[in-house]
Structure 1
Amino acid sequence: MKNIDRVLVKYNERLVGYLQILENNRIGFQYDEEWVKNGFSISPFSLPLSDDVYISKSPYFKGLYGVFNDSLPDGWGEFLVRRMLAKKGINFEKLTPLERLTLIGSNGLGGLTYEPIQREYVKNDNMDLDNLALNTKKILESKTENENLDDLFNFGGASGGARPKVHISFNDEEWIVKFGALNDSLDVGFDEYIANKKASEASINVNEFKLFESNRCKGYFGAKRFDRKNKQKVHVISLSAILETTHQIPNMDYYHLFQVIQKISIDKMDLYEAFRRMSFNVLYGNRDDHGKNFSFLYDEELKGYRLTPAYDITKTDYKLEHEMTVNGNSKPNESDLLSIADEFRLSRKICEGIIERIKNIIVNEKDRI
C-alpha cells in the first residue's frame, strides 16, 4: 500500500475535483474549475458548485462527505477487503479514508472513481454461481484458510449490504447477484424475487430483476445495476449521504425522504412513488428500510436528481421495528401512512387507493414464478 494524501475524483473520465488530507488530518474537497463551469453538484445540500474548499463537519465517515463514503463497500464488501488485506499483512483499521477509496478505484458503487488506483480488478468470466455461493459460505463459516479471496474480491469486493453478492456480466450488462448469509434460508433469493414481483405489480418502479438458475436452491436473486447505463457510470447518492448521516443508526423518518424529494427531485411524481414504497414496506413487512436503501441518481438528460429504481425489497420478519419511522412510529399503521400523505399534500384518494392495491396484491398474489 502507498501512502496517499491526495486523490483525484472522476466521473466517466471527467475530473470532478480533489480530495486532500489537510492539517490535523482533516480532509478537504474542492471541485475542479472546469467541473464548476460544466458539471453538477455531486451532493446537493453539502457540496454546491463553487471553488470553495469543503471540509466535512459530520461525526461520521472519518472526515469524508457522505457522497464519497457511499463509494466504499460495507457489509460483505468490507468483510472481503478486510480479509484480503489481512492475508497480505495490512491492517485495514490503519488505512486512511483516502487509501480506502483508492483500493476501490473505479469499481465502487455509483459513478465516482478515485485515482491513483491501488488495486486493479481482474475480469473473471467464471459464472458458476453455485460454486461461488459455496465459496462465500465457506468464508463466512471460516472453514478454510486457503480460500481464493482474490477471485471473490474481483467479483464482489466493492459491494454494499449485509448479504454476500457478486458483480457479473449478463447479456452484456452489469448485474448484481446475491447469495444467502449464514442465517438465511437456502431459498432466500426466491423470497426476494417474489417480494420484487409483488412490488412491481403494485406499480413501484422496481429495478430490473431475475432469478438465476441453481442446482442447490430455487435460484439466486439478481438485479441489473441502475448505476450503469450504456456502458457509462451513473452518479448515485443515498438518502443518508445527502443528509450526512449514517444508516447504521435508526435516526430517520420517512418524512425526511419526502422532504428531500421536494427539495431536489426533478420529477415531483417521485412523491407518489415514495408513498408507494413506504406503504409497501410497511404492509409487506420490509423493515430493513434504512437511509441507504433509498437513493437518488443524477439524470444528465434532464439535468437533475430523481429517485433511483427501488432495490433491496424483501420481507424481514426477524426485525421487530422499521429502520425508518413513519410519522415518528417505528411500528407504523395505515393512519401513519396517510398522515405523511396529508403533510405533503398528496391526494388522499390516490394514496388510499395505493394502500388498498398493495393490500390486495399481498393477500391474493400466488407465489409462483
Structure 2
Amino acid sequence: MKKAKAADGKPFQGVQKLSVSLDFYGEKIDVGTLAWSKDERRAYFEYHPDFAEKRLNVSPFKLPVSEGAKAAPNSPFAGLHGMLNDSLPDGWGRLLLDRYLQKLGYDFRLLTPLDRLAYVGQVGMGALRYVPDNSLSKTDDAAIDLDWFAAQAEAVQGEVDEADVDRLLEIQGGSAGVRPKIMIGLNRKTGKFVADDGTDLPEGFDAWLVKFKSNVDPSEIGKEEYAYSLMAKAAGVDMPATKLIETKKGSYFAVQRFDRTESGSAHVQTVSGLLEADHRAPSIDYDTLLKVTRLLTRDERHVRQMFVRMVFNVLAHNRDDHAKNHAFLMAKDGVWHPTPAYDLTLSEGPGGEHNLAVDGEGKNPTKKHILKVAENASIPRAEAEQVFEQVQRAVDRWAEYAKEAGLSERRLQEIDRLLNKRGPTTAPDVDISPSP
C-alpha cells in the first residue's frame, strides 16, 4: 500500500504499538499493550502482568483480564476491541481529525484505529489513556466564545476552509455523536466558563460538555434538548446536571460530564464497547440491555432504572437509542453502575424505528410490548405499570418543560401533537433529528 505523504513530502508514520493505561480517579494504572497487525488488519491486546492485581475487570464480557495476547474481531470496529473503540471519536470528533490531517496533506483514509487512538492520547473521554500521545498541543488562551465556536462548527460542516479546525479539535475531548460539541469548565456560582483542553481546570470549575446545532438539526435544538432533560428527570430518569446557556446569538445545551469527578477520571464503557455491538445499525434489543445491566451490576435497582429509560425513550419518541447511547461507569472499588442518561431528544431511528427493539417491535412499540419486556426481566407487573404511568404523566406535561426552556409556541405544539396526540390532526409533519 502506498504510504500517505504530507504536502512537504514527509511520509506519514503510522503507529504500530500503543501503551494503554487508566487515569483511574487520580491513579495512573498500566493496563496493557496494543499492537497492530498489518497483514490481518486487526489489533492484538495484552494486559500488563501486574494489572490482574488491581482487580479491575475493565471489559468483563469481551476482554476479560487474563494472560496472553487477544485478537480483536475484524468487525464491527475495523479490527479494534470494543473497549478501546469506545475511546475513538465518531461523528463530529472523527470529522475534525480528518479535516485536520487533510489540511496537513495526509490521506486520513489510510489511518488505522491505532493511529486514531494516538490522536486521542491523554485527553479522551473516560479514563483510558494512550502513548504515544499525538493529541494537539494546548493553547495558553483559556478565553472562550460560544457564538464563535458555533460559527466555526457550522463552517466545518459546510466545507469552509477558513474554519479553525485546530482549535475545535483541541477541545472536542474525544467526543462521540454527530452533534458538534466542545468541552468547557463551568463555574456554576459565577456562571463563567473556560475551555477544557484536558488539563486541570481552575478551582471552582467543573467539567461540562456544550453542544451546537448540526446541519440536520431543528433550529431550536438547544432549547429542545434542555426541555427533554427536564422531562426525563421528572419521569424518574437518572440525569446529570443540565443547563441552557443563552448568548447574544444562540441557546446552547450544556451537560455536566459524569466521566470527570473531583478525584479524577472514571472508567466508562458503552454497551456497544462491552458487547462489541455495532451502534451504527440495530444489533441488540432492550431485553439484552436489561440482561447486561443485571449481569454487570448485580443490582436490581439498576435494572429498574434501565427499564425506566426504555419507557421514556418509547413515550418521548427518542428512537436514537442505540448501543452507544447506554453506558456503565466503574466506581473506585471496581463496582459497575449505569451512567446518568444522555443524548435524550426527539429523534428518528433507522427507518423510523427504535435502534433497540421493544419485545421485537421497533416501529410502534406499545404498552403491551413494554410490559412483556418487564416480564422477561422479572420486573413485577404492578411495578412496571407504575413506571409506565409515572413516565406518561411526565410526557403529558411536555408543554411545561418546553416553556421553561423558552421553546417557541410553534415547536412546542408540534412536539406535543406527536407525543400526546393533542392539536389538529392535519398539522404538517414534525421536524425530527435523524439518527447519526
TM-score norm. by structure 1 comes to 0.95
Q: Aligned pair count?
A: 366
The secondary structure found in structure 2 opposite 1:10 is strand
**1:134 corresponds to which residue?**
151
Deviation at 1:157, TM superposition (A): 5.7
**1:15 corresponds to which residue?**
30
Mapped to 1, the partners of 2:78 and 2:370 lie a distance apart of 35
Q: Which runs of 4+ in 1 moved over 2 A?
A: 21-26
**2:8 corresponds to which residue?**
none
Deviation at 1:153, TM superposition (A): 0.7
**2:382 corresponds to which residue?**
349
Deviation at 1:275, TM superposition (A): 0.8
Q: How does 1:44-83 map to 2 (within 5 A)?
A: 44-83=60-99
Larger radius of gyration: 2
Asked whether the equivalents of residues 266 and 306 of structure 1 are also in contact (C-alpha less than 8 Å), the reply is: no
**Unmatched tracts of structure 2, length 5 or more:** 1-11, 188-204, 405-436
The secondary structure found in structure 2 opposite 1:296 is strand
**2:403 corresponds to which residue?**
368
The secondary structure found in structure 1 opposite 2:294 is helix
Mapped to 2, the partners of 1:187 and 1:222 lie a distance apart of 14
Deviation at 1:57, TM superposition (A): 2.5
Pair 1:180 & 2:196 matched? no
Report the CA distance shift for 1:151/1:256 in structure 2 as closer, same or farther (over 3 A).
Answer: same
**1:125 corresponds to which residue?**
142
**Counterpart residue identity of residue 213, structure 1:** E
Asked whether the equivalents of residues 254 and 325 of structure 1 are also in contact (C-alpha less than 8 Å), the reply is: yes
Q: Residue by residue, what CA displacement relative to the aligned partner does 1:87-125 show, whole Å, maximum 9, x if unpaired?
A: 001111111211110011012221101001112341552
One of 322, 325, 336 as aligned partner of 2:354 = 322
Give the fraction of aligned pairs with identical amino acids, expressed as a percent.
Answer: 33
TM-score norm. by structure 2 comes to 0.81
**Counterpart residue identity of residue 241, structure 2:** E
**2:300 corresponds to which residue?**
268
Mapped to 2, the partners of 1:56 and 1:289 lie a distance apart of 25
Q: How does 1:94-113 map to 2 (within 5 A)?
A: 94-113=110-129
**Unmatched tracts of structure 1, length 5 or more:** none
Mapped to 2, the partners of 1:39 and 1:65 lie a distance apart of 20
Report the CA distance shift for 1:178/1:88 in structure 2 as closer, same or farther (over 3 A).
Answer: same
Q: How does 1:1-369 map to 2 (within 5 A)?
A: 1-12=12-23, 13-22=28-37, 24-25=39-40, 26-123=42-139, 124-142=141-159, 144-156=160-172, 158-171=174-187, 172-217=205-250, 219-301=251-333, 303-316=334-347, 320-331=352-363, 332-365=365-398, 366=400, 367-369=402-404
Q: Residue by residue, what CA displacement relative to the aligned partner does 1:185-213 show, whole Å, maximum 9, x if unpaired?
A: 33201100010101001111112211112
Mapped to 1, the partners of 2:219 and 2:75 lie a distance apart of 39
**Counterpart residue identity of residue 115, structure 1:** V
Asked whether the equivalents of residues 297 and 307 of structure 1 are also in contact (C-alpha less than 8 Å), the reply is: yes
Q: Residue by residue, what CA displacement relative to the aligned partner does 1:273-306 show, whole Å, maximum 9, x if unpaired?
A: 01110000000100110000000111123x2211
- Root-mean-square deviation (CA, aligned residues, Å) is 1.6
Report the CA distance shift for 1:52/1:362 in structure 2 as closer, same or farther (over 3 A).
Answer: same
**Counterpart residue identity of residue 57, structure 1:** P
Mapped to 2, the partners of 1:153 and 1:45 lie a distance apart of 32
Deviation at 1:52, TM superposition (A): 2.3
